Amino acid sequence: MTHHSTPDVEDYDIIIVGTGSGNTIPGPINEDKKIAIVEKGTFGGTCINVGCIPTKMFVHTADVARSFQDAERLSITGELRDVDWKGIQQRVFGDRIDPIAEGGAAYRAGEETPNITLFHGEAAAFVAPRTLRIGDGPVIRGKDIVLATGGRPRVHPVIAESGVRYRTNEDIMRLDKLPESLIILGGGIVAVEFAGIFSALGTKVTLINRSDKLLRTTDQDVSETFTELAQEQWTNLLGYTLTAARETEDGNVEVTLHDGSTVAAQEVLVALGRVNNSDTLNVEAGGVEITDRGTIKVDEYGRTTAEGVWALGDAANEFELKHVANHEAKVVAHNLSHPNDLKKYNHEAIPSGIFTHPQIGTVGMTEREARETGRPLTIKVQRYADVAYGWAMEDSTGFCKVIADRSTGEILGAHVLGPEASTLIQCFVTAMTFGIHARDFAEKQYWPHPALTELVENALLGLEFD
């Protein structure tokens, strides 16, 4: 269908909404195309500005701070004398993150990418098929539109209605000073990562969670062990719901729990998961359908229910992982340029790293999910303490759990809790992706002794096959 341009509608070959992974789509493959990029928030999206990258810089700092407390076990005496909060922020944001966001926006708006027009600081919403209004202003139309709109923090209704001040992942790292006390609402990944950061830096952390477990969607052994270990690092109020919140005369925020008890702290961090930004797009006008969960409905190629409209990343999947969004962006970039040779999204063996203390890495099925398949299983739990480097580290709590099919040798899932877990999990991703029998994977290659990868080797060797 051809559009006859009218003076008040600007036509583009490709319109990209969102500059997280969406910003990776323009490149040599489509430099002959006229492209519009729309970003209502900070250029670069969640991961680089308020998610993975800055949080891991804080996490690493927290891990070093925590190592002072740990030193005594290793016959070393040390102490953490000072946490220069402003210095940490300058290193993370001033020296690194903010210049990247500013540079990215300047690059897309500048002369080096003459085929690209950047609409920054304004939201986009459909007014007709393949047609978007930018804020209150211009209307643009695309042969293809890519929705890479991500999500935003979910706010607890009691907090929202009470009008108290609160923080999310979007501003907690930019507080003027390190809070003496912090309430964290939630028990998922964002909650436990920030609990790990702030408790290590000396903040008195109280985490309040509706479930009686932390990280309850992870494997049961991981969830139960982590819940126990977390209790030694900060205060957990598990199985509690929030009924009220107010600001006190001394400037703290006080929350009331369902049993009538109260907790007060200088700051409250809301970490209760994410809301999909699809509700900002006026999708009906564009013919784009949404799933029950609020994600944009896509097929295996990334196409939405509207012709010429694609979606990727947190906007369209339930994984909420940057590496998945980046993969999908590559697929969509290919499909835009090769309409007769479409590639599919690959959602097999997707790993996840949780950068709390201890670290967690996970891929594939939990034990419960594996049992539900009815397949014959073999399961091995290998402790860090029983391999050489774990022994050297004096690690007494970490483990690697691997789940495989007893008859075929297929690895179905793996879960690591302990130092470098997010790195160690990659061994399992490789075996699962290439379909290598667990026994072959363990026996037909070298594992450097006494490196930590022996944890993986020994876990695999402990599996029993028919």
Token pair of 195 as six digits:
């609990």
What value, to the nearest 5°, has the Cα angle with vertex 13 and ends 10 and 14? 100
| Residue 314 annotated in ligand binding | yes
| Residue 56 annotated in ligand binding | yes
Catalytic residue status for 449: yes
Token pair of 225 as six digits:
């062990």
| Residue 409 annotated in ligand binding | no
Distance from chain centroid for Cα 303:
23
| Residue 343 annotated in ligand binding | no
| Residue 193 annotated in ligand binding | yes
Q: 60, 338, 347, 449: which one is catalytic?
A: 449
Measured CA to CA in angstroms, residue 435 lies from 104, 371, 430, 439, 446 at distances of: 39, 20, 8, 12, 18
For the chain, percent helix, then strand, then coil, each to nearest 5?
Answer: 35, 25, 40
Residue 185 CB contacts under 8 Å (≥ 6 apart), including other chains: 156, 159, 191, 208, 209, 242, 255, 268, 269, 270, 271, 272
| Residue 330 annotated in ligand binding | no
Q: What is the DSSP string of 271-325?
A: -S-EEEGGGGS-HHHHT--B-TTSPBP--TTSB-SSTTEEE-GGGT-SS--HHHH
| Residue 189 annotated in ligand binding | yes
| Residue 273 annotated in ligand binding | yes
| Residue 186 annotated in ligand binding | yes
User: Which helix (H) or strand (E) element contains residue 441?
Assistant: helix 438-443
| Residue 187 annotated in ligand binding | yes
Annotated binding site for NAD(+): 186-193, 273
Annotated binding site for FAD: 56, 314
Annotated binding site: 56, 186-193, 273, 314
Catalytic residue numbers? 449
